[in-house]
Amino acid sequence: SNKLMAGKRGLIMGLANEKSIAWGIAKALADAGAEIAFSYVGDALRKRVEPLAAQIGATEIHECDVTDEASIDALFDHLGHIWGKLDFVVHAVVFSDKAELRGRYVDTSRDNFRVTMDISVYSFTAVCRRAADLMPEGGSLLTLSYYGAEQVMPHYNVMGVAKAALEASVRYIAEDLGKVGIRCNAISAGPIKTLSAAGIGDFRYILKWNELNSPLRRNVSQEEVGNAALFLLSDLGTGVTGEVHHVDAGYHVVGMKAVDAPDI
- Contacting residues toward ligand NAD, per CB under 6 A: 14-16, 20-22, 41, 45, 64-67, 92-95, 119, 144-146, 189, 191-192, 194-197
The one catalytic residue among 40, 146, 147, 251? 146
Task: Give whichever of 98 and 181 is closer to ligand NAD, judged by the CB atom.
Answer: 98
Nearest distance, CB of residue 22 and ligand NAD, angstroms: 6
Q: In what order do the strands lie in the sheet with 35-40?
A: 61-63, 35-40, 9-13, 88-91, 139-145, 182-189, 244-247
**What are the Cα distances from residue 7, in Å, to 29, 36, 39, 129?**
11, 11, 20, 23
Contact 173, 240 (CB under 8 A): no
The answer to whether residue 156 is catalytic is: yes
Task: Give whichever of 8 and 163 is closer to ligand NAD, judged by the CB atom.
Answer: 163
Contact 187, 8 (CB under 8 A): no
Nearest distance, CB of residue 219 and ligand NAD, angstroms: 9
Task: Give whichever of 86 and 90 is closer to ligand NAD, judged by the CB atom.
Answer: 90
The one catalytic residue among 40, 147, 156, 251? 156
Task: Give whichever of 6 and 192 is closer to ligand NAD, judged by the CB atom.
Answer: 192
Contact 23, 17 (CB under 8 A): yes
Task: Give whichever of 45 and 240 is closer to ligand NAD, judged by the CB atom.
Answer: 45
Nearest distance, CB of residue 259 and ligand NAD, angstroms: 27
Establish how many alpha carbons lie within 13 A of residue 250's alpha carbon, considering only the half-sphere containing its beta carbon. 12
The answer to whether residue 122 is catalytic is: no
**What are the Cα distances from residue 62, in Å, to 38, 52, 200, 235, 248?**
6, 14, 28, 27, 31
- Rounded to 10°, the helix 69-83/123-133 angle is 30
Contact 233, 214 (CB under 8 A): no
Nearest distance, CB of residue 193 and ligand NAD, angstroms: 7
Task: Give whichever of 19 and 33 is closer to ligand NAD, judged by the CB atom.
Answer: 19
- Length of the chain in terms of residues written: 264
Nearest distance, CB of residue 32 and ligand NAD, angstroms: 20
Residue 39: other Cβ atoms inside 10 A: 28
Contact 124, 92 (CB under 8 A): no
Nearest distance, CB of residue 106 and ligand NAD, angstroms: 21
Contact 5, 32 (CB under 8 A): yes
Residues with active-site annotation: 146, 156
